[in-house]
Structure 1
Amino acid sequence: MAEGILGLGTGQSTALNQDLIDKLKAAERRAQVEPLETDLEDIVKEKETFATIDAKVNELLAAIKPFDLFVTSGSNAFEEKSATTSGDSVVFNATDSKNVNTGITTVDVKGLAQKDVYQSDAINGATKDALGDIGTLSIEVDGTTHTFDTSTYATYDELATAINDTTGINASLDQVGDDSYRLVLKSESSGLANALTISGAASQALGYTTDGTTTNATNHTLTAQNMSLEVDGVAYSSAENKITVDGLDITATKEGVSSINVSKDTSLVETQITDFISKYNELVDLVGTEIDSADSAIADKSSLRTMLSQIKEKFFGEYGENSDKSLFNYGFELDKTGKISLDLVAFNKVLSDNPEELKDIFVGTAAKEGFGTQLKATLDEMNFTGGLLDAYEKGIDSREETLEKEKEKSIEKLDDKYSQLANQFAAYTALITQFESSFSGLKMMIQQSTTS
């Protein structure tokens, strides 16, 4: 006996369900979306690998900077200087040693720069809070006179605050004993140009002057003066206790004689050059591994080859005033793997006997740039906008952005497609259910007719 016609009566409407839709969508997602996700995962790995290579290039750049003619701060490796000092009357400092003259510099400090300082006569506790009208106080500093009418201030603290608000003068009411205070006036800066001239009835009342104009020597506790010193017999005067002579900062601390002996120091050259070679070999190892590996995440290996080629090209360049010298004349050696080594005995002999010759090879001049100067420029150019490394990094970002957009479009397309399919399944299910309901009556009639 037949169970249904074209599936009617067999409950086939239940087969068009969400589970079926999910299975169909998953199968199509594997074909359209997952390959894009795999490509994006590969790009993440490529970015990590590139970041490691880029970091090594920057380490190499930092290592070659001491041999750059155009070093932006400090000195190149061959301009470093060392110094020994004697005496404690001054402190020596050199922010840019290449401008400091070699040899012995002797400094004789005759006097330190000082501020101008006055103290008032003693004021007791009761009086300090009751200033009263003691006349006008005039204070001249750096060509400007400031005048204070004491009748407008209730206390000495108020007067001190008003004086403090002017330019060039500091004032304070200091407790100097159990019940004793003094109004202290100081020039803000040291030097003769900042000396204070105090006058007026209030000046006489406070004891700064004896007759309103004549300085009271007893209360003039420190007299403004310039620093006075001689550097190799040449006299200098300054409002501050610091001067700069031939690139050497000299800060006076007390009277007396001090000296500094400056000499060239090439002791770091060996360390700096071996560090550079180490950084170069690390980069060769890293890039070589990525180029030779079939599993490397790097998509554009030709760019890495070009980068190494540009760097290696500088090793084989010709340097010196006549462009007839090679690094390999000074202890540099190249092995079959492309790594560099250094014969320190040969290198140090030239460094000891003729450091200027090495400087000419590694640093050079504006007319004949040396190895370090040229390599630093090459590495900089790689990182500049449009340079090899900059272009590679932007290329990775561009590919990643494109894949992300393709992935979003594919997911959106699948969502739309299977959303429509779900609606169609719902409509088909309703239609089949209606057919099955109608067919159940027909089925009953058939069954009754066959049994009678």
Structure 2
Amino acid sequence: MADGILGLGSGQAASLNSELIEKLKTAERKSAVAPIETKIEKMTKEKVIFASIQTKVAELLDTIKPFDLFVSGGVTAFEQKSATTSGDSVTFDAADIKTLKKGTTTVNVGQLAQKDVYESLSVNGSNKDAIINQGTLTINGKDFVTTNMTYQQLATAITAESGMNANFEQVGSNEYKLIIKSEESGTANKLEITGDASVNLGFNHVLTAQDMKATVDGVKYSVSSNTLIVDGLKITANKVDSKVIDNGNEVYTSGSSINVVEDNTQIETLMKNFVTKYNEVISLIDTEVLSADSALGDKSSIRGIVSEIKDKLFGSYGTSGNKSVFNFGIELDKYGGLTLDSTKFNKVVQEDMSSLKDLFLGTAEKKGLGTTLKETLDNMKFSGGVLNSYESSMTTREIILNESKEKAEKLLDAKYQQLALQFSAYGSLINQMESSFSGLKLMIQQSVAG
């Protein structure tokens, strides 16, 4: 006779436990959840690859900007200038390279601009926070009543007014002074200080406002600032030049100069940068699109990046529509990348710059290659562009996958929670049946023994 009920054997309820449920749940998870997790892991890799593509396209965009007719914040590759300077009485900077004139500019500084500065008599540390009560201080017609005011409060009130600043400063180990300055340099910004308080506080005129006086290519300037802008050149005076009297006339014995020339030496470097970054973009995208193991989810869209770039690169440009990059030393290699024939390219730079400008810059009415390609690459990252659309699609796919995983896990958890409850009920029933069977078995054994 078989042990237990229906061949189950005794103690079978114990086998319906949480360990069995976990084994069943793990087995089903492999088919319900694991495939979604695999897709999520692949998407993580896809995001890394896409970020690399975005970076390479952005780098290519940066290299074509100097060849854009509408370049912002700078000049085109064909407007580069270089300069050599001499002297130290001024420093030179390009306020606007586009308007910077070629040739030599000579500057002589006769006088530096300076502020108006007044200082009060000193007070010691024990009196620095005392109430002034020295009448009214008038600065450029503005009255400051010192009644019930400390030095610091008076300084704050003066600074609040336009055109003047004041500080109550420690000028020695136990010595403090109220120092008043014009906000800007130059005679137009001088200060006039009067009133009882000016006398009582002993204000002394320690620096008198004056204009900067200089000659630039023989033209005399007298301005309130130490900075001039002449022909796109920013000139900042640092010190006064030396001069002597010759036959009753002042003659400068020192000065500063700058010589500005066109600089075409950078064009080849800029073009090489473009060729390098173009090849990096093409190589990266081709590798990913052609690889069977690539994590890219939409290779067709990524391939579209290359198609858009090549469509513009291989086009015809110029006023007559007859110019191509392949006429100027840029060539295709056997792998579809670009190479630059420096000898041929530099010959064009030296002998036919206008044609090169026509090819790359073009005009507002007929845009050149650089202008067109810059706009194309720019538009890729905007709404509707291939990079923007791919990123949006990838984000949507990622959201759907995470939602699908969450849903699948919830269904799995709910199913096995219910199964656990069923197992518990089955276990109780089996235990009851086995208990009853044990009593019946004992009665049968006793009956046979009798």
- Determine if the TM-score, normalized by the shorter chain, exceeds 0.5: yes
Whole-Å separation in 2 of the counterparts to 1:436 and 1:135: 112
Whole-Å separation in 2 of the counterparts to 1:284 and 1:127: 77
Which of residues 192, 199, 218 in structure 2 aligns to 1:197? 192
1:22 pairs with 2:7: no
Match of 1:313 in 2: 311
- Comparing 255-264 with 159-168, greater Cα deviation is found at 159-168
Match of 1:340 in 2: 338
Residue ranges of structure 1 left out of the alignment (5+ in a row): 209-218
1:146 pairs with 2:167: no
Whole-Å separation in 2 of the counterparts to 1:177 and 1:164: 23
- Comparing 356-365 with 171-180, greater Cα deviation is found at 171-180
% same residue: 54
1:418 pairs with 2:416: yes
Whole-Å separation in 2 of the counterparts to 1:160 and 1:43: 64
Which of residues 299, 302, 310 in structure 2 aligns to 1:301? 299
Name the aligned partner's letter for residue 34 of structure 2: E
Which of residues 223, 228, 243 in structure 2 aligns to 1:238? 223
Aligned ranges 1:252-331 → 2 under 5 Å: 252-256=237-241, 257-331=255-329
Name the aligned partner's letter for residue 109 of structure 2: V
Q: What SS is found at the alignment partner of 1:138?
A: strand
Q: What SS is found at the alignment partner of 2:239?
A: coil
Kindly tell me: are residues 438 and 226 of structure 1, through their superposed partners in 2, closer, same or farther at Cα, counting changes over 3 Å?
same
Match of 1:106 in 2: 106
Q: Residues 104-155 of structure 1: CA distance to partner in whole angstroms, max 9, x if unpaired?
A: 22333332222223456x7686998799876654332xxx333445x6568x
Q: Tell me the number of residue pairs that the alignment of Structure 1 and Structure 2 aligns.
A: 436
Indicate conservation of the 8 Å contact 2:119/2:206, yes or no.
yes
1:439 pairs with 2:433: no
Q: What SS is found at the alignment partner of 1:78?
A: helix
Whole-Å separation in 2 of the counterparts to 1:18 and 1:202: 94
Name the aligned partner's letter for residue 346 of structure 1: K
Indicate conservation of the 8 Å contact 1:117/1:223, yes or no.
yes
Whole-Å separation in 2 of the counterparts to 1:194 and 1:344: 57
Kindly tell me: are residues 354 and 133 of structure 1, through their superposed partners in 2, closer, same or farther at Cα, counting changes over 3 Å?
same
Name the aligned partner's letter for residue 114 of structure 1: Q
Shift of 1:399: 1.1
Shift of 1:382: 0.9
Kindly tell me: are residues 427 and 183 of structure 1, through their superposed partners in 2, closer, same or farther at Cα, counting changes over 3 Å?
closer
Whole-Å separation in 1 of the counterparts to 2:39 and 2:402: 10
Match of 2:252 in 1: none
Name the aligned partner's letter for residue 184 of structure 2: S
Indicate conservation of the 8 Å contact 2:4/2:434, yes or no.
no
Indicate conservation of the 8 Å contact 1:8/1:439, yes or no.
no
Kindly tell me: are residues 41 and 190 of structure 1, through their superposed partners in 2, closer, same or farther at Cα, counting changes over 3 Å?
same
Indicate conservation of the 8 Å contact 1:104/1:259, yes or no.
yes
Aligned ranges 1:387-406 → 2 under 5 Å: 387-406=385-404
Indicate conservation of the 8 Å contact 1:107/1:258, yes or no.
yes
Shift of 1:51: 1.4
Indicate conservation of the 8 Å contact 1:9/1:440, yes or no.
no
Q: What SS is found at the alignment partner of 2:78?
A: coil
TM norm structure 1: 0.87
Aligned ranges 1:182-221 → 2 under 5 Å: 185-203=180-198, 220-221=205-206
Whole-Å separation in 2 of the counterparts to 1:126 and 1:44: 67
Q: What SS is found at the alignment partner of 2:215?
A: strand
Whole-Å separation in 2 of the counterparts to 1:152 and 1:21: 87
Whole-Å separation in 2 of the counterparts to 1:320 and 1:187: 57
Indicate conservation of the 8 Å contact 2:116/2:208, yes or no.
yes
Kindly tell me: are residues 444 and 182 of structure 1, through their superposed partners in 2, closer, same or farther at Cα, counting changes over 3 Å?
closer
- Comparing 171-180 with 356-365, greater Cα deviation is found at 171-180
Match of 2:36 in 1: 36
Shift of 1:343: 0.8
Match of 1:211 in 2: none
- Comparing 12-21 with 158-167, greater Cα deviation is found at 158-167
Name the aligned partner's letter for residue 90 of structure 1: V
- Comparing 370-379 with 233-242, greater Cα deviation is found at 233-242
Whole-Å separation in 2 of the counterparts to 1:9 and 1:283: 71
Whole-Å separation in 2 of the counterparts to 1:109 and 1:206: 37
Kindly tell me: are residues 382 and 6 of structure 1, through their superposed partners in 2, closer, same or farther at Cα, counting changes over 3 Å?
same
Aligned ranges 1:43-192 → 2 under 5 Å: 43-118=43-118, 136-140=136-140, 144-148=141-145, 166-171=161-166, 185-192=180-187
Whole-Å separation in 2 of the counterparts to 1:290 and 1:161: 66
Shift of 1:277: 0.6
Shift of 1:188: 2.9
Match of 2:349 in 1: 351
Whole-Å separation in 1 of the counterparts to 2:34 and 2:197: 92
Whole-Å separation in 1 of the counterparts to 2:41 and 2:182: 69
Whole-Å separation in 2 of the counterparts to 1:428 and 1:126: 94
Name the aligned partner's letter for residue 367 of structure 1: E
Whole-Å separation in 2 of the counterparts to 1:414 and 1:314: 53
Shift of 1:347: 0.2
Match of 1:13 in 2: 13
Whole-Å separation in 1 of the counterparts to 2:177 and 2:33: 86
Indicate conservation of the 8 Å contact 2:125/2:175, yes or no.
no
Kindly tell me: are residues 434 and 318 of structure 1, through their superposed partners in 2, closer, same or farther at Cα, counting changes over 3 Å?
same
Whole-Å separation in 2 of the counterparts to 1:132 and 1:343: 80
- Comparing 31-40 with 8-17, greater Cα deviation is found at 8-17
Match of 1:216 in 2: none
Whole-Å separation in 2 of the counterparts to 1:132 and 1:13: 99
Kindly tell me: are residues 241 and 18 of structure 1, through their superposed partners in 2, closer, same or farther at Cα, counting changes over 3 Å?
same
Kindly tell me: are residues 323 and 423 of structure 1, through their superposed partners in 2, closer, same or farther at Cα, counting changes over 3 Å?
same
* RMSD, aligned α-carbons: 3.0
Q: Residues 341-366 of structure 1: CA distance to partner in whole angstroms, max 9, x if unpaired?
A: 11110000011122232122122221
